[in-house]
Amino acid sequence: MKQYKSKLDLSKYLNTLKINDKTIGFVPTMGALHNGHLSLINKCSKENDITVVSIFVNPTQFNNKNDLINYPRTLAKDLDKIKDYCDIVFIPDENEMYNEPDKRLFDFGNIDKVMEGKHRIGHFNGVAQIVSRLFDIVQPTNAYFGLKDFQQVAIIKNLVQQLDLKTNIISCKILREESGLAMSSRNERLAPKLRENAAIINKVLIESKSKKSELTVSELENWVISKLNKNEFIEIEYFSIVDNTTLENITEWKDNITGCIALHTGNVRLIDNVGY
Ligand code: PAF
């Protein structure tokens, strides 16, 4: 596995591969890699000639300073985990990615105004800044993103359209711990008791699917919220059932919809979702 810290060196090397028509698969990450990331990297390496992984904790997507400070950083372990699947790892520092502040403001219409966008002001603009910079350097044929970050996938698809990029965005299903808890780097920050307790999130989301025939959309949203809020360790931030494309709240049952949840447990914020 080749390691690059310089974007210029990386793009020079990638250009030599492109001359030979190699497909480049890309998995952007912020490190603290878990099996969810590894499954993206594994899929990427099966579907492309060359697999590039980036590890960079992007400051512009954190609206909360403490969240940025507390974000787990485990570079040595990360490199060890990916060495067998990945051809190239890009590990720039902040200066390399933002030698001057990125002042670009993206317009995503409604899709960054709801859910995560409403509760984490500026988050998706920061994601768009870093992903557009990384895509510019790597110029991937295919890029892989996990569907736990359901809204992020919609934003990135929109970004690729806006910038008229050639990269295919491949969204990959959520990987779960044995308990059903969606895999996330943040799970590492949960005390064992809270991690065990957090299994209830997926249980309630799965159970809610069977209530669809007897409840209206807003009744079902309230059912999930009140069921989880009864748990002494959980505080819901939002639960919304939205159209998969527009991310608008639906009022009547229809196809292609997803229930998205964000909540706090201990001092950790988790998200998850379920298709109905
Ligand atoms: O999903 C993530 O880990 C990050 O938002 C991403 C896409 C790597 C951009 O920093």
Does residue 149 line the site of ligand 1, with CB under 6 A?
Answer: yes
CA of 172 to the centre of ligand 1 (A): 14
Backbone torsions φ then ψ of 230, nearest 5 degrees = -70, -20
For the chain, what percent of residues have pLDDT higher than 90?
A: 94
Ligand 1 mean position, distance from CA 274 (Å): 20
> Is residue 79 scored above 90 in pLDDT?
yes
pLDDT for res 155: 98
CA distances from 204 to 28, 67, 126, 208 (A): 31, 27, 32, 6
The reply to whether 34 belongs to the active site is: no
Domain with CATH 3.40.50.620 in the chain: 2-172
Q: Given the residues 37, 119, 123, 264, select the one marked as catalytic.
A: 37
Out of 44, 67, 149, mutate this one to test ligand 1's pocket (max ligand atoms within 8 Å of CB): namely 149
Question: How many CA within 13 A on the CB side of residue 17?
Answer: 21
Q: Give the torsion through C-alpha atoms of 230, 247, 147, 95, to 10 deg.
A: -100
How many whole angstroms from 54 Cα to the centroid of ligand 1?
A: 10
Instruction: Domain 185-270: give its CATH architecture.
Output: 2-Layer Sandwich (3.30)
Distances (CA, A) of 218 to 25, 44, 150, 238, 252: 40, 38, 20, 13, 9
User: How much is the pLDDT for 177?
Assistant: 97
Compute the mean pLDDT over every residue in the chain, rounded to the nearest whole number: 96
pLDDT bracket for residue 11 (50, 70, 90): very high
Domain 2-172 sits in CATH 3.40.220.10: no
pLDDT of residue 219: 98
> For the chain, where do the domains classified as CATH 3.30.1300.10 start and end?
185-270
Q: What is the pLDDT of residue 170?
A: 98
Mean pLDDT of 261-273: 96
Q: pLDDT category, 237, cuts 50, 70, 90?
A: very high
pLDDT of residue 70: 87
216: tokens are 């209206």
Ligand 1, residue 58: give the atom nearest the CA.
10
Contact 158, 237 (CB under 8 A): no
- According to the model, what pLDDT value does residue 97 have? 98
Quick check: CB of 265 below 6 Å from ligand 1?
no
Q: If you average pLDDT over residues 134-142, what whole number do you get?
A: 98
| Tens-digit pLDDT profile for residues 140-164 | 999 999 999 999 999 999 999 999 9
| Stretch 199-226: mean pLDDT | 97
* More confident position, 257 or 18: 257
- Write a three-state SS string for 189-258: HCCHHHHHHCHHHHHHHHHHHCCCCCCCHHHHHHHHHHHHHCCCCEEEEEEEEEECCCCCECCCCCCCEE
For 84-132, write each residue's pLDDT tens digit: 989 999 999 999 999 999 999 999 999 999 999 999 999 999 999 999 9
Q: What is the pLDDT of residue 19?
A: 81
| Predicted TM-score of the model (pTM) | 0.96
Residue among 18, 17, 39 at smallest CA distance from 29 = 39
- What is the structure's pLDDT at 199? 98
Give per-residue pLDDT as tens, 23-74: 999 999 999 999 999 999 999 999 999 999 999 999 999 988 988 998 889 9
